[in-house]
Structure 1
């Protein structure tokens, strides 16, 4: 799924994008949050992108450029307005999701060298008079896995301030490909099962280190020059913009920038399994064994969950049957490490049915919700994590109901 920025003037009141739903255009109107630069406006106070009050979520490089799936930022503030300036490495028209406190997500298109005001005194649920509701929180996320933003600064009213939010005590990281990145889901990254898993707990930090087409094995797959056994150790993903910015010299990721993962979910191998990429079973197995060891070295106290590959459905007789890929190899990796106690196996068989897979071989929004829900229960039952989401919206536009008694 791609989002296209509106052709309307930036002076227009709204911006639009195109979402195809079952082949039909879904009517969407997103607010145009663009404002003029506030660099010389004394009514604003500016925090630089390195300000300690800003909590970055996911992977961002030293230039404050976002990478991988659903990266974002979050902070609390006191005041009546918040704006963010975007640098020249921001993708043109990238769709971002943002919300005030625990309210529903809102969306807008941003672009390079622009300033966008996300909060004002007229924002839904904004309240300056109820002291118990202050400070308030702004969270922003990049929806698309292929695009990114660069933060140039955060602006609040001159008499206001930002407040750093403490991290949650638990952290989960999901390492994957397009299935985890949310390709072809309605809002891509924030409609993925990986998002649903992390955000669904409500009380954990989570990072989605996933990119479509990437293999586990370090080889060129579908235009991705490197596999996760190499790229996971770097800040940037394997996108064309990463190649443009860093060529063959990406920044090494400093894992100390984020809390160490308590749980790591690995869902890789679907692209390796495609004959187009010429990955042998033996190479896949060896690379997986080495990758698990590498993840363990980075996160020595993490529990690692290996996800079996669902690999779509095919007609069998009068019904459908779920396929599989590298079934024996992933089980062998699990059996190799299971005596250590930190490697676990999550079998996806039976979670989705054939109508949970869309025409482009990826889960529908409902399919993503199913996988996320089962993974949440798996983690709750095996590791004692409690479900802490008590109201804030997790996945947008999934509220459906029927109020007709007869039809």
Structure 2
């Protein structure tokens, strides 16, 4: 390309950005989710073994996220209504979020989300929010990462939407490797007040996971893990017998059900039979001799996802920056993004555990209280010969486990 042609292209991009970059018209605070444009992965740093499990609605303009200036997607009202959680309180119990890398704008973005959704402030100053490194110290924090920051915004906003009075502890591991993340889990478990720990990441099973399992074994604390976003197949730590493995659903309002909502299997939800992890005593399905994933589930389909607020990006805050983000030529986000993945379902279930307030051990509690769950009976996440490991049906199945919350009785 010649210099003159390059300059012409830049001028054209700038001109187009000035016209088109105000990304969205005003959207009501409790808007219906966007269901077009496809989805994209968050783009979390992949230098470590683990990858985050979040996805966002893609912009129709390019390969970046669809960013809006006002709330979009489901919010607290929908999450609480769908899972019969309205009016419940945790009494200030703490949900810990474990992620890799730093989100420098995490607290400010959380404040924007909660204010826009009519929730009370959750800040460092009032004792509701705390951010620490993997060793529990306020500094030094890891390097920032635009993809992991979007994951962190999703996790914090999901806790806020599900359990508005929960306190939140964000523990940031120094990288996406197993050892730093497991150190962060241990730090979260040792923090007074923590009753649930959410892990919205996963990696392939290998010979190291059995030794790493010890870091997930915290009796009395609910440890949740996303089952995966690539359909049928197993990832760790969801396959650990010490966690509640959380699958994903597509959640839609419905006038034809007494509940007012309908759920089917999200086709991206991970599931299957572990190759390495022993079957826990509380799991009794007969098609898998080892640990089966998942245990329970919650909304994960980005097309019926949560609207979250994130402003950490590589280009600043301007119409042109928003345009670059929409094209995928800049990283991060600059406003409201509709998101999903089992990165959403894991913190939702961790927050339900916090609302329930029971001291739980591993993922056993829901198996003894199936009457307090919404059974998800349709949909598939892949090919497994039509068995329950990838196909939803009455009772237990791999993609959705025992079902989704109907109040807190199953947790």
What is the TM-score when the length of structure 2 is the normalising length?
A: 0.26
- The structure with higher relative contact order (CA 8 Å, sep 6+) is 2
What is the TM-score when the length of structure 1 is the normalising length?
A: 0.26
Greater percentage in strand = 1
> Which of structures 1 and 2 has the bigger CA Rg?
1
